[in-house]
Each structure stands twice: as C-alpha cells, then as structure tokens.
C-alpha cells in the first residue's frame, strides 16, 4: 500500500477531547507534560557531566565545558529572550505543563544557576589538571617579570591601537554594549580630585586576536582582558585607577519580523539582523567581586533586573572561548583521532557515481563515521562537471565558511547546467552568511529563491537530473544534517543517495512547491514532507501500530530524534503505551513526555545519548506487524518542524540498510556508556557498567563498525578485480593472445 492510499484509508486519531472520557488519564492535564526549557537544561547537565567524567581525555573535557558556555549563551538569546517577549506582551496563556512565561523564566534561572555553579567548579579543576600537563592559564600578576614584559610588548604593538575607552558622564552617554562582548568597567579619578569617573573598554577579540594570549613559546596563556586591565596607565595616562572590573551582556536574538507582511524577504532579514544588534539585554554577567554600586548602575543602564538577570561569575566570563584551548595540538589529551572512511557501497570499478548508484541502488551514508567528502561532496562535484547532467536543485540551510558545496554549484552553472538553490535566510545565527552566499550564487547565474513565505526550509536535499543512456533519470541525496563539511565530522547524521523513481518523482513535486510557492494538489508516493504530510502520516502509523498490537500483541515503535515537543505526538504515544505498544525513544535533549508512569507510560522508555559526537539524525521505526518500516528525516518531533517548516522524511527500504539502522538503534538503546535513562520527573541517571566491553562509547563502537565495513568493501572490490583479471587472461589465452 503506497502512502497516498494509506493516508486515505487510515484516519488519524480522534481529538483528545473526544477521548478524555474514555481514557483512564485526562491527556489535557498539565501534570503529564514536562517543560520544554527545563528539559533542555537537563540536557546541558548531561553535557556538563561529560566534562566532569574522568574517563574522557583532558582537552575533550575542556571542550565539553566550552560547549556548556556556548549552549547557555544560545539558551538566553533564544529561549529566555522569547519568554521575556511574552512577559512584555502580557501573555497570560499557560504552557502545556501549566506555567506562565514568568514562571518559566524563574524556574530556568534557578536551574541555570545550579549549572553555572557546577561549571565554575569544573573550570577550576580543569585548570589545575591542565597546569600539570604543561598548559597554564594564569593571571597577569602570576607571570614572571620577563613574561610580563613579553605580554606588555604584545599589548603595545597589537592591542593598544584597537582600544577605545568610552566615558560615562553627562557629556558621554552610556555606550552601546554589543552582544556577548567582554568589557572592562574602569573607575578612575584625577590625582587631585575625589570625584570618580567610569570608563568602558571593549575587549577586541576576533579570529585574529584570540581571547587567550599566549605568552612566549610554551603553552602559557592569560586572558586578553587581564592583559588590558594591567596596562591601563598607558591607555589612561595620569589617571588614578581605582578599580577594574569585567562584564558581559547577552541580547535577545528573537527579532524576526512577520515574513507574511514583508515585501522583500532579504530586506526583512537584513533589518532583523540590525534589530538583533540593538535588542534588549536578557542577561548580565559580571566578574566576581564587582562593587555593588557598579553592578547596580550597569543593571539600571542596561535595563535588567539586578536580582534575577545578573550572574556573578567566579571564573572566565564567556567560557565558550575555551574552545581555543580545547583545540590545542596535544593529541595525547584528545580522543583517538577519527578519520572518516569511504562508504563501501560507493566503491567500484566505475569512477562515475551516477553509474554506481544506478547499478547498485540506494546508498545509505552514516556520518561522521563515513566521509562527507567522498560521498555528498563527490555527488555534487561530479554532478557539476558531468556533461550528461542537465540540472541541479538544492536546499541550503547552513554550510561551512569556505564551502566546497558553493564552489561546485557555481562550477555547475559555469558549465551550462540549470542550477536552482533554495537558500534559507532565516537559519538563526547563519542569516548573514546565507545572505552572502545567496549573493554569490546569484552573481554566478544561479536561480536563487528563499522558500515558502512564513516557513523555514529545513529539508536537506540535492536533486540531479541526468540524461542517461535510456533517457532522463533523476538522482537525489536526502539527508538529516546540513551541507556543512565541518559539522559532518562532529554530528551523527544519515543520508540516502538514490535514483528510486518514486522518491525522485516526489522530490520533483517538492522542489516545484519550494520554487513556486504553489501548494494545491501535490501528491507524494513515498516521501513524507512537512508541513502537509509528515505529522499526519506519523500519527496514522502510531494508530496503526495500536491496531496491530490489539490483534497480535507485538506492537513496537522506536523513534530517534533531537527533541519530542509536539503535544499531538506525545498524546499519541501515551495512547499507544496505554494500549500496550512497546515504545523506545532516543531523544537527545528536550522531551515533554514523562516515561514510566503506571497505566500511562509504563511501556515507554526514553534514553539520551551524549558523547564524543553530537547526535543529530532522526529515525522513525514501526514494527508494522512484521512488515517493518524505517524512515530517516530532517524533522524533529516539534510543532514547528511538523507544522511550519518544510522538511523531508524518506523511507529506507533496502534490507541491508534496515539492518544498519537496526544495529544503530539496538546499540544506543542497550549500551551502558554515554546512555542516560530518563525518569518520570524529567531527571536522568547515567547507565554504568563494570564490564570493559559494555563501557565502550557508542560512537567509538560505530567508528569500528564503519572501518570493518570499509575494509570488507575494499577486499570484496579487490577480489572482484582479481577475478576479472584472471578471466581476461583466460579469454586472452583462448584467443591466442
């Protein structure tokens, strides 16, 4: 039964209101749902634990500490910023877990302070451990006189010209403080005066001017603001320096305007970026020991609540900058290097990837275990130069700074191919880069569109039309991750390269929708796109699993996703659990569902994987009475992904590929390292094992499996070539050659 027939014959579940009197639990009650923000913060506790876990190499622990800083910055910019907007708009509606916006903010601040306290303790511990390994993060005053002079010379030559002291007095209004910048607040006075003045100095960090200043040739570092603070007499000559304190602000990133009302989406995004620069401040971080008077003045000038929004940090302000230290070339303190292998299904005698896919069939890619360069980039690279390729269509959400993907698209256009790219301008924090890329593509003669009004295009698609020997044939890559070479080495993602006629026919419809904006009467056979099909199909399949279980008692649903937030999906899973269906959920971060509640969700288990790589792929599995279905998707189980984004979900139909996905799911569900079990109250506990084999990291195990597949593939190819060579010799002998 194809998708069209299935959705026509199988209705989704009745509204929960109609079921409330029939079920033992009222699924409208807020007590059965967890708060999205708080469950995301729980995820960050698990990330913090990786930094605390002594089984991880030292610089990797520093990396996890930096990740926590980066995550919390984004949390305040996006989630707290959005909640503060709701408070400002006097929103009185409750979240699904029964909280007002301000109640959510208050609860989040409480948890964040717990995380920050643990983060600061970990920072101190890691600095001591780094020092034992010869990586010293010191204060300026701890340097020897010779080291201080070296640092001062660097200040005079490379930093001093970039500094701009800004006064704060009646003739100098309070200066603009940029988002996430580190600043000095300096109190000064004239030698013969008792009157103090406040001076603000922005610390000018950049890729060329790193936050941690290396002193000399060994691994000795001091903070840039510490160096500036100890050279203030040069910057403010003749003044008495009374105090020098540090602070940092975080601004709201939720500044998008209504796309439906915009005459020009590009201008709207550019305007929103300008708005974001001056957006309200949602957090003020100050260095430990800042005078209460100065703290109060900053809070008042910046418009934040001193009791709630101010965080005193006993350590590094902006701990995300520790990525610089985590990246030091000290391999003995890092995970064993991982070198992605070639996908064995793409190995063959024929160097043309389209011939390989046509003869072999679907190819399932597993990143970062398998190379992005020799699969996805190769697919696009060959398409750009293959004379038989007539057209390339692609979606672009995020990509690398020096993207080869962009180069190949431009080369394709220069080679006379029709190239159309749907660029998502509203990919948060990548808007500026995507505007720039869109300009480059348009200058190369590429058809650039910005997707559907009011929706983000989050699908990951490359679509190639080629004139094969037997007529036009369509080839595609459908992925769960962005076309970003850097994240492809750190994120766990899946991709399918296919020339399946039905999937490619569906993609033709989807791209016509993206480039034209016209939605009526589009029909899909295998693909499950959002916003029209995916949610409806998943809910229908859950109900089908309930029906199967009632008859056979073998119902099984397994989902792997980054987040489970959509209430309709949670309610459907609750109903399935109450019907006896066994449900396994691998949810990386936010999860509204409460597992393990007797009578409601006792058949549901929720686990989270946090380790060396960031889990990013989405897999949706249904036992389906023995006719198993596997899907991979770009969409998480969130309302925004299912109802207001363009997403793509594709079936995995090869027996071999289903076995690979089964291996991944079973490993992640049953392993005892990097696996966290969720409890009904939203807390997690980490699985532990004394068994050495059981304590192998999930990601390291899959690295090994990928290497074995690659070796087996190369051996099989070598044998095939050997047999072919022997056969050719035999033919030559018969022919007397």
Phi, psi of 102, rounded to the nearest 5 degrees: -65, -35
285 touches 317 (CB < 8 A): yes
Catalytic site residue 109?
A: no
Contact 394, 476 (CB under 8 A): no
Q: Measured over all CA atoms, what is the biggest interatomic distance in the chain, rounded to whole angstroms?
A: 110
User: What are 591's strand-pairing partners?
Assistant: 564
User: 519 with 513: CB under 8 angstroms?
Assistant: yes
Q: Is the dihedral of CA 575, 577, 582, 586 positive or negative?
A: positive
Backbone angles phi, psi at 539, to 5 degrees: -65, -40
**Distances in Å between the alpha carbon of 466 and those of 409, 413, 499, 504?**
15, 15, 11, 12
Stretch (H or E) spanning 63: helix 58-75
φ and ψ at residue 341, rounded to 5 degrees: -95, 165
> How many Cα atoms occupy the beta-carbon half-sphere of 497 within 13 Å?
25
Q: Looking at 172, 338, 367, 458, which residue is catalytic? A: 458
What sign for the dihedral angle of Cα 518, 523, 527, 529? positive
Distance CA 642, CA 569 (A): 10
**CB-side exposure of 571: number of CA atoms within 13 Å?**
22
Question: At residue 192, what are phi and psi to the nearest 5 degrees?
Answer: -100, 15
Q: How many residues does the chain have?
A: 737
Quote the DSSP letter at residue 13. P
Q: What is the 3-state secondary structure (H, E, C) of 270-296?
A: HHHHHHHHCCCEEEEEEECCCCHHHHH
Q: By the 8 A CB rule, do 425 and 438 touch?
A: yes
What is d(CA 429, CA 253) in angstroms, rounded to the nearest whole number?
9
- State whether residue 529 is helix, strand or coil: strand
Of 208, 228, 237, nearest to 152 (Cα)?
A: 228
Residue 369 neighbours by CB under 8 Å, 6+ apart: 340, 341, 702, 703, 705, 706
Name beta bridge partners: 476: 463, 498
Q: Which two structure tokens, joined as six digits, stand for 177?
A: 């403080």
Q: 417, 409 in Cβ contact below 8 A?
A: no
Residue partners of 157: CB distance under 8 A and separation at least 6: none
Q: Could you give the dihedral angle defined by the CA atoms of residues 693, 696, 699 and 701, in that order, rounded to the nearest 10 degrees? A: -20
- The CA-atom distances, in angstroms, between 399 and each of 402, 432, 496 are 8, 12, 19
> What's phi and psi for 309, nearest 5 deg?
-95, 0
Active site residues: 458
């Amino acid at each position: 039964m194809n998708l069209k027939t299935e959705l026509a014959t199988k209705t989704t579940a009745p509204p929960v209101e109609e079921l409330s009197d029939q079920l033992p639990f009222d699924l409208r009650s807020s007590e059965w749902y967890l708060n999205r923000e708080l469950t995301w913060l729980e995820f960050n506790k698990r990330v913090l634990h990786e930094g605390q876990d002594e089984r991880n190499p030292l610089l990797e622990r520093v990396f996890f500490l930096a990740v926590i800083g980066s995550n919390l910055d984004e949390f305040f910019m996006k989630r707290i910023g959005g909640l503060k907007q709701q408070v400002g708009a006097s929103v009185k509606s409750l979240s699904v877990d029964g909280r007002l916006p301000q109640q959510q903010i208050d609860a989040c601040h409480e948890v964040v302070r717990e995380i920050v306290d643990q983060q600061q303790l970990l920072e101190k511990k890691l600095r001591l451990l780094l020092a034992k390994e010869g990586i010293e993060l010191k204060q300026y005053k701890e340097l020897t006189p010779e080291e201080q002079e070296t640092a001062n010379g660097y200040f005079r030559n490379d930093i001093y010209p970039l500094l701009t002291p800004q006064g704060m007095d009646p003739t100098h209004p309070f200066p603009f403080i940029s988002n996430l910048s580190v600043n000095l607040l300096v109190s000064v006075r004239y030698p013969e005066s008792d009157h103090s003045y406040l001076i603000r100095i922005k610390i000018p960090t950049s890729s060329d001017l790193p936050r941690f200043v290396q002193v000399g040739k060994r691994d000795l570092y001091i903070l840039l603001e510490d160096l500036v603070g100890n050279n203030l007499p040069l910057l403010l000559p003749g003044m008495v320096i009374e105090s020098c304190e540090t602070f940092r602000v975080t601004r709201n990133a939720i500044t998008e305007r209504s796309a439906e009302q915009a005459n020009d989406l590009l201008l709207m995004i550019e305007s929103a970026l300008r708005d974001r620069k001056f957006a309200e401040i949602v957090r003020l971080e100050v260095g430990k020991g800042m005078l209460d008077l100065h703290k109060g003045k900053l809070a008042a000038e910046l418009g934040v609540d001193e009791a709630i929004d101010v965080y005193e940090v006993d350590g590094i302000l902006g701990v995300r900058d520790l990525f610089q230290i985590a990246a030091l070339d000290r391999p003995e303190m890092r995970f064993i290097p991982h070198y992605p292998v070639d996908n064995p299904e793409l190995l063959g005698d024929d160097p043309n990837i389209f011939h390989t896919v046509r003869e072999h069939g679907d190819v399932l890619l597993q990143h970062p275990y398998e190379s992005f360069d020799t699969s996805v980039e190769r697919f696009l690279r060959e398409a750009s130069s293959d004379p038989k390729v007539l057209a390339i269509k692609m979606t672009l959400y995020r990509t690398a700074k020096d993207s080869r993907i962009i180069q190949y698209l431009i080369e394709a256009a220069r080679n006379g191919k029709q190239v159309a790219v749907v660029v998502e301008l509203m990919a948060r924090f990548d808007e500026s880069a995507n505007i720039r890329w869109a300009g480059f593509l348009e200058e190369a003669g590429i058809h650039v569109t910005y997707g559907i009004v009011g929706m983000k295009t989050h699908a990951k698609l490359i679509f190639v039309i080629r004139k094969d020997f037997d007529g036009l044939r369509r080839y595609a890559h459908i992925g769960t991750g962005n076309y970003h070479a850097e994240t492809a080495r750190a994120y766990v993602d899946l991709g399918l390269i296919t020339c399946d006629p039905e999937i490619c026919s569906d993609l033709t419809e989807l791209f016509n929708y993206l480039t034209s904006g016209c939605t009526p009467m589009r029909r899909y056979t295998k693909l499950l796109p959002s916003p029209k099909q995916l949610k409806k199909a998943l809910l229908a399949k859950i109900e089908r699993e309930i029906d199967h279980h009632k008859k056979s008692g073998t119902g099984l649903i397994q989902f792997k996703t980054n987040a489970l937030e959509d209430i309709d999906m949670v309610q459907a899973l609750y109903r399935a659990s109450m019907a006896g269906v066994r449900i396994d959920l691998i949810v990386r971060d936010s999860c509204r569902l409460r597992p393990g509640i007797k009578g409601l969700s006792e058949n549901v288990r929720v686990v989270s994987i946090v380790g060396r790589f960031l889990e990013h792929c989405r897999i949706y599995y249904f036992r389906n009475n023995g006719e198993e279905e596997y899907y991979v998707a770009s969409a998480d189980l969130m309302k925004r992904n299912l109802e207001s984004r363009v997403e793509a979900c594709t079936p995995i139909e090869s027996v071999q590929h289903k076995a690979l996905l089964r291996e991944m799911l079973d490993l992640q569900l049953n392993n005892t390292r990097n696996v966290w079990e969720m409890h009904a109250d939203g807390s997690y506990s980490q699985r532990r094992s004394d068994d050495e084999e059981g304590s192998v990291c999930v990601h390291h195990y899959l690295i090994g499996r990928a290497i074995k597949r690659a070796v087996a593939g190369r051996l099989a190819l070598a044998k095939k070539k050997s047999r072919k060579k022997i056969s050719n010799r035999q033919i030559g002998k018969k022919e007397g050659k």
